[in-house]
Every structure is written in C-alpha cells, then in structure tokens.
Chain A
Amino acid sequence: MIATLLRTIFVDPWPFWAGGMIIGLLVPLLYYYYNTALGVSTGYGNLVKIFLPSRHLEWIKTKFPETWSWRVYFIIGIILGGFISSALAGNAGLTTEMGRFTDTVQWPGLLTAIYFFVGGVLLGLGARIAGGCTSGHSIHGLANLHISSMLASAMFVIGGIIAANLVRVTLLGGVW
C-alpha cells in the first residue's frame, strides 16, 4: 500500500492534473512566503553575469546588483528536481535523446547542437523583450488575469505553432 503510493509519487510519470496543481500552487506559495512572483527567465541575466564578461553593460549593472540572488538558487533547484525525477525513475546519466527529433533527423551531433543552440538564443532574446517566459507570463500572469500576459501568451503560442509546423514539414518528413 505505502509502497504503491511512494511508487506513484516518486517513480511513475504523473497525471497532467497532479503536475498542474503543484505548478499552479507555486504562484500563491511564493507570494505567501516571499512576496515574489513566479518566474524563471529573468534569472538568465544572473547567469550572463556569472558566465560572460558583461559587468560593464548597463542592464546587467542595474538589474542584477546581486550576482548570486535567489533566482540562481531557483534555477539550481529546478535542475536538481529534474535530476531527482529521472534518477528515481531509473534514468540517471547522460542521453542524446530528443524525442522524434533525434529519432528522425540523422544529423551529425554538432549540427543538432547548433540547432538547439539557435532555438535557445531565440528563447533567451525573446523572453527578455517580452518581459517574461512561460512561468512568468503564462502561469503567473494568467493566474493573476493580467492582460499583458494574455497577449504575450497568445504570441508565444502563435510563434510555437509556426515553428513546430516548419520543423515538422522541413525536418521531420511532414508526419507527426
């Protein structure tokens, strides 16, 4: 009985509603404990300050006075959470798997790496111009019924639909 329960929580994949509830609860919990909005992408500014020579840039200077702020700890936590999840499911270790992309596209590793890097550049640049990402706009902002987040989320989805269809047609042989 207890073994089954532990297995359901720690080993098996979760039903979508369980994950949705936990993620949604973060919004009021972070306000209750720290009066802080849920958000991930701003913390990449801290990472820029840590990894790239950027301390002379005005935006880095003014927005990130504290290099190792709580945002970095949140980022480290999410990485650890992913690690614990996959380790408990018995999948610890490195993998080059990326779903249907790596199943279908027979590119040399370097080209695949560049592909994902380019996607990442668009995510990083786009999130900053948009003022937030999926967690800040589409979860925190929508849960607070913010108009700006509704519009941003609509644009996220439009961009995603365009890109996913382009990828499907040009790289994945048109099938899904």
Chain B
Amino acid sequence: MDKKLGFLGFGILFGFALSRVGASDFDLILGMFLGADYTLIGVIGIAVVVGFIGMQLIKKFEQPTISGESLKISYKELKPWSLVGAGIFGLGWGISGACPGTVLAQLGEGKVFGFFTFAGMIVGTYIYARLKEERPEL
C-alpha cells in the first residue's frame, strides 16, 4: 500500500485510540503527573509491552518487513543536550496537558485551546530550527 495512504490510515487508528482512552483529556494527563489517575500509565505500559512482544515476533519472521528489506530500527542518539530538551518537553507536557500526538486528537475533537498548544508546537519547532543554525550541537 502507498506509504502516505497507509500512514493516513494508521494515523486515524492512532488518533481514534488516543481519543478513546482519554489521552487527549487534560485531566487524565495532569492526573497522571499528580499520581491521581493511573489510566495513561496503564496505556503506555501496555503499549510498551505489546510493542516489545511484536518487535520480537517480527524479528523471528523469515521476512521481517513486507518488502523483504532487513529491519532498520531507528535508535535515537543521546546528545548532551537531549536530557535538557526532554526536561523542557516534560514541562510543556505538564502545562498543556498534551503531547505532540494527543494534541492532534484534541484538534479533531474540536478543543479550541488545543489549537493554541498545536500552534505553539509549530513555533517551538521553528525556534529549534533557528537555534540549530547557530548551535549545531543541539
């Protein structure tokens, strides 16, 4: 299947699932960080376990990818600034009650303030692109 069409379909599935479990809900995200609601910890925990098992399975397939290519698993290198960036990301997560995926589900749900989180994310990414001109180590 065409990659773009396929990702459109997988995106719909992803957004639907995020919305259905309440990952796009401000209260569930804040509740997770305040130790008051464990729903999303359960979601992420199950997702990691299922993802891990699934990856072990496809590695055992004679053909781990449908095209016959060998698996190219992306490893995100840890740069010195990465952990600082992750801390900044966490602050944004706790303030907005959203992350880059769930804010998209919020948009689909018609949450008006989610649009501002989304716009902020585009601007934040733009700021990164500008910073990167002067500081290639980022």
Q: Name A residues whose Cβ lies closer than 8 Å to a Cβ of B.
A: 13-37, 39-41, 44-45, 47-48, 51-52, 54, 57-60, 68-71, 73-86, 91-102, 112-149, 151-168, 176
Contact = CB atoms under 8 A, between A and B. Distances in A.
Contacts of A132: 76
Nearest to A123: B92
Contact of B85 (A126, A154, A166): A126
B119 A117 contact: yes
Nearest to A81: B15
* 10 closest A-B pairs by CB: A77-B11, A159-B90, A120-B120, A81-B15, A124-B124, A129-B85, A82-B108, A20-B46, A163-B94, A119-B96
A136 B122 CA distance: 17
Given A101-B97, A163-B94, A131 B79 contact: yes
Chain B interface mostly: helix
A146 B76 contact: yes
Nearest to A11: B20
B7 to A, nearest CB: 4
A160 B90 CA distance: 4
Contact of B30 (A34, A148, A155, A167): A167
Given A78-B105, A119-B120, A126 B90 contact: yes
Given A47-B125, A151-B78, A155-B90, A22 B101 contact: no
Interface string B99-138: 1111111111111111011111111111111101100001
Contacts, number: 501
Contacts of A83: 15, 108-110
A74 B88 CA distance: 25
A133 B99 contact: yes
A159 B123 CA distance: 20
Nearest to B49: A24
Contact of A20 (B27, B47, B108, B110): B47
A119 B98 contact: yes
B54 A121 contact: no
Contact of A85 (B74, B89, B109): B109
Contacts of A71: 7
Contacts of A17: 42, 46
Contacts of B98: 119-120, 123
Interface in B2-26: 3-26
Contacts of B83: 130, 151-152, 155
A82 B109 contact: yes
Interface in B30-87: 30-34, 36, 39-40, 42-52, 54-55, 57-58, 64-67, 69, 71-79, 81-87
